Amino acid sequence: MTRERMMRSWQVTDPAPIDSDPAPLRLVERPVPEPAAGEVLVQVLACGVCRTDLHVAEGDLPVHRAHVTPGHEIVGRVVGFGKGTGRFAPGDRIGIPWLRRTCGVCSYCRSGRENLCSRSSYTGWDQDGGYAEYATVPEGFAYRIPDRYDPATAAPLLCAGIIGYRALRRAEVPAGGRLGLYGFGGSAHITAQIALAQGVEVHVFTRGARARTFALELGAASAGGSGDPAPVPLDSAIIFAPAGQIVPRALENLAPGGTLALAGIHMSDVPPLDYQNHLFHEKRLTSVESNTRRDGEEFLTLADRLGIDPRVTRYPLERADEALRHLGHGDMAGAGVLSISE
């Protein structure tokens, strides 16, 4: 009998507010996972800390897998292969994202909208993620990581970056237009860099004074509080903060014909809207659900070409709970990343 190889891994034992005692997450020893057919095993080098992980830990999202390991911005090195794999070679550096599997046959999957597939599954929610020393992924849903990035810097590209890219497209910002970003964490600071590189004028609204300074350093035209009126009418806006009360103000800040995209997977209730102030003049309100693999490939190519440079704060694996608390308190510049085996 062979003895199972063990690894360190976080589990969401009992979803609850991140500051509660006992905390919702626990660091445990568990067997290294076996890659199933079509999957590869990676040794995790780094894993980003995303707001969705906080929603999983705090129970804003329902439990899909008991004692799940969170984390879906995984950069790892391929070290094992399930049956029927052949896309990657041993040692390849790959990224494991949020979108883990789709059905491939429904009308959404067949029309380039696999992000809307009702039978999709997600890393760090339906299956174990990257707050661990090893993780698996169906090889068709992984990405190659551009050489320019070290693992920790690449990690936030895999969700914060890709979702921000999709949100930017959903917001339909015109060439040379004016874009509002509400919230300025991991996703927004990457999205701002893409928009600025494309000649868009960026206006940031966020509660954190440090985040406002950071936005101006990156080249934002203005940075104010989350409830402030925009200094100029905006063509498009994206809300990254999970706060529904921002929606009416963001719609007021739009110019006629403008579009507001809501980028989060979870948001607190949106207050009643006033038709004249918030929606008339052909204003559009839309949300963003996950991403397609095509979004991911396009974004990573673009990030590499534009030299998009995520700002990361590194934490060791054993401090993942602290990283999530900092994220919850709005106390993090850029994106938090667990540096696991760099």
Sequence letter at residue 86: G
Using rule CB under 5 A, residue 117 touches Zn ion: yes
At its nearest, how many Å lie between Zn ion and the CB of residue 110? 8
Taking the least distance from each CB to Zn ion, the nearer of 32 and 45 is 45
CA atoms within 13 A on the CB side of 164: 32
Using rule CB under 5 A, residue 50 touches Zn ion: yes
214: enclosing H helix or E strand: helix 209-218
Taking the least distance from each CB to Zn ion, the nearer of 284 and 314 is 314
At its nearest, how many Å lie between Zn ion and the CB of residue 117? 3
Residue 285, beta-bridge partner list: 260
Taking the least distance from each CB to Zn ion, the nearer of 104 and 316 is 104
Using rule CB under 5 A, residue 106 touches Zn ion: yes
Q: Give dist(CA 122, CA 64) in Å, integer.
A: 10
Using rule CB under 5 A, residue 339 touches Zn ion: no
Near Zn ion by CB under 5 A: residue from 103, 196, 197, 232 = 103
Q: What is the DSSP letter of 119?
A: T
321: enclosing H helix or E strand: helix 320-328
Judge residue 186's burial from the number of C-beta atoms within 10 Å of its C-beta, 0-12 exposed, 13-18 middle, 19 or more buried.
buried
Q: Give dist(CA 322, CA 319) in Å, integer.
A: 5
DSSP conformation letters of 147-200: TT--HHHHGGGGTHHHHHHHHHHHTTPPTT-EEEEE--SHHHHHHHHHHHHTT-
Using rule CB under 5 A, residue 159 touches Zn ion: yes
At its nearest, how many Å lie between Zn ion and the CB of residue 271? 26
Q: Give dist(CA 95, CA 46) in Å, integer.
A: 10
> Shortest CA distance to 320 belongs to which of 147, 71, 16?
71
Taking the least distance from each CB to Zn ion, the nearer of 103 and 243 is 103
Q: How many residues bind Zn ion (CB under 5 A)?
A: 8
Token pair listed for 34: 């076996």
Near Zn ion by CB under 5 A: residue from 23, 109, 157, 171 = 109
Kindly indicate which of the ranges 21-29, 103-111, 254-262, 292-300 contains the residues binding Zn ion, using the contact rule CB under 5 A.
Answer: 103-111
Using rule CB under 5 A, residue 270 touches Zn ion: no
Near Zn ion by CB under 5 A: residue from 52, 206, 226, 253 = 52
3-state secondary structure of 311: coil
Taking the least distance from each CB to Zn ion, the nearer of 109 and 332 is 109
Taking the least distance from each CB to Zn ion, the nearer of 52 and 339 is 52
Using rule CB under 5 A, residue 265 touches Zn ion: no
Kindly indicate which of the ranges 7-15, 101-109, 121-129, 294-302 contains the residues binding Zn ion, using the contact rule CB under 5 A.
Answer: 101-109
**Binding stretches for Zn ion (CB under 5 A):** 50, 52, 102-103, 106, 109, 117, 159
